Amino acid sequence: MESQNNLQCPHCKDYLNMNDQVILTVEKLIVEDSSRQKRGWAFLSSTPGKYEVTTHEHFPLKDGEKLMIFCPLCNRSLESKKYHGLCYLLLNNNRTLYFAPDKGKHATFIEENGKELQAFGAHASEYNHLFPGSQLSTTNAVACNTIRMHG
């Protein structure tokens, strides 16, 4: 059992966390103020269900902002082809962590063996359609719901 959540890029397999923080490259789909930068780094918690994000003061992120997420080491997109609208990272070798890329969208999923799924975040149920047969609950924002997936 690893003592912390180690998160790896699914492409280059390099580690993207230091202790309990993850570094990701974030790109805004729309930049309203052209004096603001479009791409930057974001520090996030590696603990599922924690959604604090730290960015540079010249790269502020607003709730609802549409974002694309990239590996800061190999620059490849972390967008999931399996679950449309979510991004993903490898978690401690044998699990996959899926998360909603947009700022303020609190939805995280941990998939193990392609079957068992844990859901975190107040907006997790908005992604119900990706997991047919699942019963995600929004009653507790950081509660963990273990569900069985079909197939």
Work out which of 7, 26, 71, 78 binds Zn ion, going by CB under 5 A: 71
> What are residue 125's phi and psi, to 5 degrees?
-65, -20
Interface residues for Zn ion in 83-122 (CB under 5 A)?
A: none
Residue among 68, 63, 85 at smallest CA distance from 24: 68
Burial environment of residue 97 by CB neighbours within 10 A (0 to 12, 13 to 18, 19 or more): buried
User: Are 103 and 64 within 8 A, CB to CB?
Assistant: yes
Q: How far apart are alpha carbons 115 and 38 in whole angstroms?
A: 37
Interaction between residue 16 and Zn ion (CB under 5 A): no
Interaction between residue 42 and Zn ion (CB under 5 A): no
Query: Closest separation between CB of residue 66 and Zn ion, Å?
Result: 22
Query: Closest separation between CB of residue 122 and Zn ion, Å?
Result: 29
User: Are 89 and 107 within 8 A, CB to CB?
Assistant: no
Closer CB to Zn ion, 12 or 29, in the complex? 12
Interaction between residue 74 and Zn ion (CB under 5 A): yes
Closer CB to Zn ion, 38 or 76, in the complex? 76
User: Are 83 and 130 within 8 A, CB to CB?
Assistant: yes
Work out which of 5, 7, 8, 9 binds Zn ion, going by CB under 5 A: 9
Query: Closest separation between CB of residue 11 and Zn ion, Å?
Result: 5
Which residues contribute to the site for Zn ion (CB under 5 A)?
A: 9, 11-12, 71, 73-74
